[in-house]
Amino acid sequence: MLISNGRIVTFGAANEIIENGAVRVEEGVISAVGDTESLRAAYPDDEVVDARGQLVMPGNICAHTHFYGAFARGMAIPGDPPRDFPEILGKLWWKLDRALLEEDVKYSALVCLVDAIKHGTTTLIDHHASPSAIAGSLDQIAEAVTEAGLRASLCYEVTDRNGPEEAQAGIEENVRFLRAAQEDTDPLLAASFGLHASLTLSDETLAHCVSAAQGLDTGFHIHAAEGISDEDDSLRKSGKRVVERLHDAGILGPKSILVHCVHVDAWEMELLRDTGTWVTHQPRSNMNNAVGVAPVETMLRGGVKVGLGNDGFSNNMWAEWKAAYLVHKLWHGDPRRMGGYDVMQMAVGNNASLARVFWPNRPTGEISPGAHADLMLVDYHPFTELTAGNLPWHILFGFEADAVTATMCAGRWLMRERRLLTLDEADIAARARELSAKVWERTLALQD
């Protein structure tokens, strides 16, 4: 298939915009990129899809999300509003996750996947919790991902907060799914070993997880130093700061993701860099929980690999770009902070490298021969010059959520002309409304 007559935004090493360009897609992979005229001449028998001057871009990548949180939308928690991050966890998230049953897990994922397709987000790295339905929960999500046709890496968050049996069940769910993902032939699914956060994990459980992960060729996906309470807890428990504690436990490494890292000091950043550990930044979530702003520019400058996630906020990743671009300026009182290239380094270059951890055979997140054919068409026709050099500022100030008209993952169209092709949004929303009403009832019944 030849997607022709587009403005091709390649990203990747070339990082150029090809005017009147074309992308050839063959068996899930990009096989040629160039100008429309030459590619049409070279492949006269190909089916041609006319992009009508739209931008043809690599699909967005989300480095950290929570499909399980979707049913929180619009839910009111009785009593005084939570005063701080630990109260938000206790009153909202640790009640909602407990209320999720098997089918809720699947539909919570499906509504997020609808949102992802509509916003051209084709790769998602999820972190799951459903303590009342642990065993098999990742299969529920995997089914939803497969129905959607997207690319996702899944894990279950191990935690001690619900006692040793559920901690063990979480470990088993990770191990089971990691083994299944390695044996399975579905190339769009990948796995990691999930851990909740330092503050809900004992040294013994961390050691169990490290030994359970032996031989599975995996890293860990864990929240770290999100609120100051995580550092306080770690110092109290171990005399070490969070990243040092996790490092000593064997959690860091080039396949591991430490989510947030808001309250990390210089030596923790050095450990992150020297171990090649991934960090993800979620500014919308950090603002919402009032936990602070991560030292992202310092980490990037020193060579820590920081990607961009959404922590369960909308899968319109450009909204996360905008939050990142704005919040660092306000936080530091300096409009020079967090330039467009820094945001792009996280959201494009680093997220693409992170995707390579889970899909090592080919590049994701770039338009080049040999890369995964994960693409979107963006109906954006600016009134000023658009170049590869100023593209970040077009995305930050010009791109809107509804500009995506078509989404492709692994060479398969998931949306065209804004019409979803793999998922029925109305059916999914109708069932989700029925299920979420019961989830809300159970969540409220769990309130102290």
Binding residues for Zn ion, rule: CB under 5 A, are 311
Find the shortest distance in angstroms from Cβ 225 to Zn ion.
Answer: 13
Two tokens, residue 395: 């995305």
264, 232 in Cβ contact below 8 A? no
Find the shortest distance in angstroms from Cβ 260 to Zn ion.
Answer: 7
Find the shortest distance in angstroms from Cβ 62 to Zn ion.
Answer: 11
Q: Which is nearer to Zn ion, 231 or 311 (CB)?
A: 311
H helix or E strand, kind and range, residue 63: strand 60-65
What is the Cα–Cα distance from 259 to 257, expressed in whole angstroms? 6
Q: Which of 296, 287, 292, 285 is nearest to 338 (CA)?
A: 296
Q: Which is nearer to Zn ion, 70 or 373 (CB)?
A: 70
Signed CA dihedral, 103, 105, 110, 115: sign only: positive
Q: Which is nearer to Zn ion, 46 or 311 (CB)?
A: 311
Find the shortest distance in angstroms from Cβ 424 to Zn ion.
Answer: 28
Number of helical (H) and strand (E) elements in the chain, helices listed first: 17, 18
Alpha-carbon 241 to chain mean position: 26
Q: Which is nearer to Zn ion, 224 or 408 (CB)?
A: 224
Find the shortest distance in angstroms from Cβ 5 to Zn ion.
Answer: 40
Q: Which is nearer to Zn ion, 9 or 242 (CB)?
A: 242
Residue whose CB is nearest to Zn ion in the complex, by number: 311
CA dihedral 329, 334, 336, 338 (to 10 degrees): -30
Phi, psi of 220, deg, nearest 5: -115, 155
Angle at the Cα of 320 from the Cα atoms of 319 and 324, rounded to 5 degrees: 120
Find the shortest distance in angstroms from Cβ 167 to Zn ion.
Answer: 19
Q: Which is nearer to Zn ion, 230 or 311 (CB)?
A: 311
What are the residue ranges of helices labelled H in 4-51?
36-42
